[in-house]
Amino acid sequence: MNKDNSNLNLARKWRPKTFDEIIGQNIAIKTLQNGLFLKKFFPVYLFAGQRGCGKTSSARIFAAAVNCQNLKAFQKKSEEKVPCLKCDSCKSMLQGNHPDFIEIDAASHTGVDNVRQILESCAYMPLTGNKKIYLIDEAHMLSKAAFNAFLKVLEEPPSTVLFMLATTEIHKIPQTVLSRCFQVIFKPINNIALKDHLAKLSESENIDIEQQAIEMIIEETEGSARDAINLLERVRFSDEKITEETILKVLGKISEKDFYSIFESLIKQNVPQVLKLLESINFQTLNPQIFWNALIQACRNLMWVKYGTNIKNRNIETLKNLASKTSINRIQAIFQLLWNQEPIFLQTTQKHIFLESALIQICEQTDIEDLKDLITFCNKSDQNQSNNFSGNGLETNNSTLLTKTQTVNPTNVNPINNKPITNNAESIIISNNNNEVENADISPWNKFVQKIIELSDPMLESILKQAKFIKNDPEKKMVCISLSNNGSFFKDKIEESKNLWLKLLQLSFPEYLGFEFIDLPTKQTEEQKTSKNDNPTENTIQTTNNAPISKAQFQSKPYTPQYGSQKNNIDISDKEKWPKANLIIKHFPGKIKLSK
C-alpha cells in the first residue's frame, strides 16, 4: 500500500491498487484475472453493483493490467503480479496521466456530442499501451440518444479499443446495451471481510476503536467499504477512543437498549411510558429517519422470530422476549400503520413531532386478541341476557338485541307477516338499529352453525354464531345474513375462510355459493315511522309472556321486561376499572347502562 499521500482522506488513501487489495469480491476478481491469463478480452465490460463495493477501483486495476508490461509474463506464469506497479505504464496509471486511459464521468457528459467525441477519438491507435481504454463511470446517467449513438461502436469497436461501463443502477441501462456487454457483478462486501479491513486500517492509522464500534459501523454502512471508511473518519477525531456511544452521537441514533425499551412500551400500549422514554433519551437530537427505519426493521425481525426462523442478530434474546408478548396480527398492524404513514413522514418538516404521533397511534391500535376477547365477551353477555334477565349486567342502547323464544300461536299464523308457521317452530325476533322486526325459520342455518364447531376456528365460530340469518336467495344461490355491527372486519374474516366453511354450508343449503351480507340500516326516515304507526292493530308483537306490545312501542326503544328496571348510565371514564366496557364502546358506540 502506497501511503505517501498523507494529505488524502482515508477512502482515497486506502483505495485498492492491485487485485489482491480488493476485499469481498472474489468471484468478480477471479473472472477478470482468468480473462487476462487466457488472453480473452471482450469489447465492452459492464461493472455493476452497489456504491462503495469496488467497481471503479476494479475497472482501473483491470485497465492497468491490460497495458502492464508484465502482462505477457503473467500469461505464461500465473504467479507473476499484474499490474506490477513498477513499469512505466503502471506508474502512469498511479499518477493518473496515462495517455491511453480515458475516464469519463457520465453524470456530467450525458449528451450525444460527448459520445461523438469518444467515437472520433477511439479511431486513433494507442500511444504507449496495448489498448486504448475508455472507462465511463455512472453509465446509467447517459441519455437515451447517447446510448443509441454508442450501440454500433459497442458491438464492433476497433480491435485496439476496450470500453468499460460502471454503474450502481444496472436496471437503467437499456437492454440493447446490456446484450453487448460482458457483465461483472459486484455484491455487497460481507461483514467478516469488511471487519478485518477496518481493523487493519485502524491499526495502521493509529485509531483506537472498540470491536463493538467496528461492528456498528459495518451494520450502518450495509456492505459499502467506502461508506465504512468515511464513517470511521468522521468519528476518529470526536474522542480519544471510539466506542458505540461515540458513533451513536455522531449518527444521531438511539442505543439498542433504549430502542427496545420503547418498542416494548409500544407493545404494552403504554403511552405515558413511551413519552417518558422519549424525553429521557433527548429525542429531538435523534435522526428521525433512522428511528423510523429501526421500527420497520424491528417488526421484520419480530415477524421472523414469531414464525420460528433463525436470524443472526445479537439481540435475539430480546427479540424472543418481545415476540412472546405480542401476536403476528399485532406486528402486521404496526407494519401497516408505518407503511400508510410513511409518505406523510417523508414530506413533513416536523418529523420528530410526526414520529411521536405515529408512536401514540401504534399504542392506540386494537390488538386482534382483544377483539377475540370482545366477541367472546359479547357472546356470553347475549346468552346470559337471553337465559336470565335478573342480576347485574351491561347492555348498550343501540346494540342488537337477540331474543330466542318458543313461539306460542294457537292460530299457527306469524303475527308479523301473517304467514303460516309450523307448530313449535323455532323463530327469532330481532330488534336492530333500524328497529325492523323479522321472523324467519332458521333450522338449516342452525345445522350449519353447529357444524362450524368442527373447523376449530374460535374466531370464525364466534362471528357466525352472532350472525343473523335473513333469508336464503334461490335465484342468486346465496344465503343472506347480517353481521354484528355490520363490521368489515367480520366480513373479511369470513371471506378469507371461505374454503373452510363453504362445504359445510352446502350441506344445509345444497348448491349455494356463499353469503350475501345485508347491512341493516341504523336509522329510519320520518315517513317510514309514520306509515308504520298508521295501523296499530297490524303492528303488534307477541312477547314471551303473551303480553301484546305495539310495534311502534317496540321501535321507539328496546323492550325491557317489567320485572327488571334500568338504572342511570354508568360512568366508564376510568379505563383501568372498566377495560371491557371501554373496549365495547370503542367498537360499538353507545351508552352503557346497568340492568337488573
What domains are defined for the chain? Answer: 10-186 (3.40.50.300), 191-251 (1.10.8.60), 256-365 (1.20.272.10), 395-562 (no CATH)
Query: Within the chain, what is the greatest distance between any pair of CA atoms?
Result: 117
Against a cut of 0.75, is the pTM above it?
no
- 170-222 pLDDT, tens digit per residue, is 999 999 999 989 999 999 999 899 999 999 999 998 989 988 889 888 888 88
> Residues 472-501: what's their mean pLDDT?
80
* CB burial readout 378-412, b (16+ within 10 A) else e: bbebbeebeeeeeeeebbbeebbbbeeeebebeee
pLDDT tens digits, one per residue of 415-458: 334 444 443 333 333 333 333 334 344 478 888 888 887 777 77
Q: What is the rounded distance in angstroms from the CA atom of residue 296 to the CA atom of residue 301?
A: 9
Q: Answer with the residue of higher pLDDT: 107 or 298.
A: 298
Please answer whether residues 422 and 442 qualify as being in contact, where contact means their C-beta atoms are separated by less than 8 angstroms. no
Q: Which runs of E-coded beta strand occur in 60-126?
A: 101-105
- In terms of pLDDT, which residue wins out, 159 or 492? 159
pLDDT at 411: 39
Confidence of residue 389 (pLDDT cuts 50, 70, 90): very low
Report, as an integer, the average pLDDT of 154-159.
Answer: 84
Residue 304 contacts residue 322 (beta carbons within 8 Å): no
Q: Write the CB contacts of 6 (distance below 8 Å, at least 6 apart in sequence).
A: 13
Cα angle 434, 440, 443; round to 5: 135
CA Rg value for the chain: 38
Q: CB atoms < 10 A from the CB of 269, how many?
A: 17
Cell numbers describing residue 433: 338499529
φ, ψ (nearest 5 deg) of residue 287: -85, 115
Q: Which of left, alpha, beta for 542 (phi over 0: left; psi -120 to 50: alpha)?
A: beta
Q: Which three cell numbers stand for residue 344?
A: 406523510
Cα gap 366→133, rounded to integer Å: 63
Answer whether the bond into residue 83 is a cis peptide, omega within 30°. yes
Among 8-22, 278-292, 410-424, 472-486, where is mean pLDDT lowest?
410-424
* Number of Cβ within a 10 Å radius of residue 59: 23
Who wins on pLDDT, 562 or 235? Answer: 235
Q: What local confidence, expressed as pLDDT, does residue 512 receive?
A: 85
Would you state the pLDDT for residue 477? 85
Torsions phi, psi for 482 (to 5 deg): -120, 135
CA distance 244 to 289: 19
Strands, sheet with 478-482, edge to edge from the N-terminal-most edge strand? 468-473, 478-482, 514-517
pLDDT at 37 over 60: yes
Distance of CA 315 to the CA centre of its chain: 21
* Cα 218 from Cα 198, distance rounded (Å): 9
Rounded to 10°, the helix 488-496/498-508 angle is: 90
Burial of 238 (0-12, 13-18, 19+ CB in 10 A): exposed
pLDDT at 378: 57
Please say if the pLDDT value at position 282 is more than 80. Answer: yes
Residues 6 or more apart whose CB falls under 8 angstroms from that of 79 comprise none
Confidence of residue 390 (pLDDT cuts 50, 70, 90): very low
Give how far Cα 209 sits from Cα of 202, 203, 213, 246, Å.
Answer: 7, 9, 7, 10
Band of the pLDDT at 376, cuts 50, 70, 90? low
Look up cell 433504549; give the residue.
258
CA angle 428, 432, 435 (to 5 degrees): 105
CA atoms within 13 A on the CB side of 499: 1
Residue with cell 435522526: 287
For residue 492, give Cα distances in angstroms to 463, 483, 509: 11, 11, 22
pLDDT band at 38 (very low <50, low <70, confident <90, very high): very high
What does the pLDDT average to over 117-139? 88
- Three-state DSSP class for 568? strand
- Using one digit for the tens of pLDDT, what is the confidence trace for 520-555? 764 444 444 444 455 444 444 444 444 444 444 444
Q: Dihedrals φ, ψ of 485, to 5°?
A: 65, 15
